[in-house]
Amino acid sequence: MKNENGFQETASLTVGGKTVQLPVIIGSEGERAIDISSLREKTGYITLDPGLGNTGICKSQITFMNGEEGILRYRGIPVDELAEHSTFVETAYLLINGILPTRMQLNKFSVQLNDQSLVHEDMKGFYQNIPPRSHPMGILSSMVNTLESFYPILKTTTKIEEINTTLTRIISKVRTMAAMSYKISRGHRVVYPRPDLCYCGNFLNMMFDSPVRPYQLDKSAIKALNVFWILHADHEQNCSTSAVRLVGSGRVNVYAAISAGIAALWGPLHGGANQAVIEMLEAIQANGGNISPFVERAKDKNDPYRLMGFGHRVYKAYDPRAKIINKTAHALLEKMQISDPLLDIAQKLEQVALKDDYFIEYRLYPNVDFYSGIVLRALGIPTNMFTVMFALGRMPGWIAQWKEDADDPNWRLYRPRQIYIGQNTTHYIPIEERV
Ligand code: CMC
């Protein structure tokens, strides 16, 4: 790959008495990486990067983010433009197919999503037999894995139509499955998808419509949900997306790869943070709104406690998604005439943290999860389903990333190495001789 002056850049590395030249890969936004894929072969050395903070695991055309400047673009389009003008379905198409759809393509995609939106009736039985206290993320991960038994079309097939049907099926059915899971957990009758409703409207209706209280769809709620899901639709090589790529590289079926992504997202340092933020804000509320003990704990190096919804591995500036979701939260609450005391606490906490030397020094700004829970609460989503909402939004991203790997003729099994620091050769001791 040539640089701006038309030269192939290389990096020179001297190690173990040998100097080797390694190619430099230059991304379309000028980011540079040293390609170390031949390093071990040439020198006998590997690289060590716990947490993978300096390791690129792939070349990708899907999402660009710049953490220093707070930039996020899907297929080149700034996320704020998509949040303002697009819908979740259109953004999903963009991520998976690489271009914005024409009207005809979008209609076809919407029809496919509608056609795929029912789930096999036997799946209800699974939900009914899951212990009632199970976390919805564990349920979703298991149920997506189960889809392979009900719809076993795609394994490692390369037939484009079959792949598209399977990918559309996942996006459409997870929404129905999440709402179905919620209804069954409450002991209520399942509400089926309707062909006259949009993707987001359908989800809200399946969640909240009831024979005794028909659900009134509200335009501002649909808009807020579209924005929420657009903002979560992809985020390049984060923990769950890397899990999807890694598990998928073993050529397992795509449902299992996505199921692994859901499991990875569950963690409180990743997608689980949106639930943890609300729990933290509620704890502050229960403490009479007194923020300072929470901030002090987060700064105390002897205490593992962290301010949830603050900090990001890549963003060292304000997370661009946080700005948009903050605006969305205010607009939604105003339109719905809701007053949420947790929003006031969140704003107060943000102001305190942004002026605090610790947060300034560590460059810890609010991330997407900080305000997203306020939006979800206003929509009526129960707190334990917040991370499921993140997962539904991330579906197109996981699928696009899986597909990018699967379409790559050089797709290889992901197999990192390690530096072994354990016991050297020792020998088996019969049990009676052990002390
Ligand atoms: N509160 C207090 N201290 C923090 C925080 C926080 N929220 N985040 C990082 N730090 C400190 C941390 O204690 C460490 O200090 P030291 O170097 O003195 O030990 C330093 O900053 C670096 O932390 P790290 O964990 O090595 O950094 P990271 O880049 O791996 O962390 C993070 C990224 C998101 C895991 C972390 O900022 C965090 O735990 N935040 C809270 C959880 C959260 O909001 N997660 C949602 C992330 S955005 C949604 C998503 O994309 O998944």
**What pLDDT is recorded for position 324?**
96
**What pLDDT is recorded for position 162?**
79
**What pLDDT is recorded for position 156?**
53
Classify the phi-psi angles of 16: left when phi > 0, otherwise alpha if psi is within -120 to 50, otherwise beta: left
Q: pLDDT tens across 157-174, in order?
A: 567 777 888 899 999 999
Taking the whole predicted model, whether its pTM rises above 0.85 is answered as: yes
Q: pLDDT tens across 165-220, in order?
A: 889 999 999 999 999 999 998 889 999 999 999 999 999 999 999 999 999 999 99
User: 308: Cβ below 6 Å to ligand 1?
Assistant: yes
Kindly tell me if the per-residue pLDDT of 95 is higher than 70: yes
Residue nearest to atom 2 of ligand 1 (CA): 306
User: 184: Cβ below 6 Å to ligand 1?
Assistant: no
Task: Determine whether 306 is exposed, middle or buried from the number of CB atoms within 10 Å of its CB (0-12, 13-18, 19+).
Answer: middle
Q: pLDDT tens across 332-374, in order?
A: 999 999 999 999 999 999 999 999 999 999 999 999 999 999 9
85 vs 100: CA distance, rounded Å = 12
* Chain-centre distance for alpha carbon 64: 15
Kindly tell me if the per-residue pLDDT of 124 is higher than 90: no
Classify the phi-psi angles of 401: left when phi > 0, otherwise alpha if psi is within -120 to 50, otherwise beta: alpha
Taking the centre of ligand 1 as the mean of its atom positions, its distance from the CA of residue 364, in whole angstroms, is: 8
User: 261: Cβ below 6 Å to ligand 1?
Assistant: no
Kindly tell me if the per-residue pLDDT of 59 is higher than 90: yes
Which of the residues are catalytic?
Answer: 312, 369
User: 269: Cβ below 6 Å to ligand 1?
Assistant: yes
**Contacts with 200 (C-beta within 8 Å, 6 or more apart), sequence order:** 87, 88, 222, 225, 226, 229
Q: pLDDT tens across 221-257, in order?
A: 999 999 999 999 999 999 999 999 999 999 999 999 9
Please provide the average confidence, as pLDDT, over all residues in the chain.
94
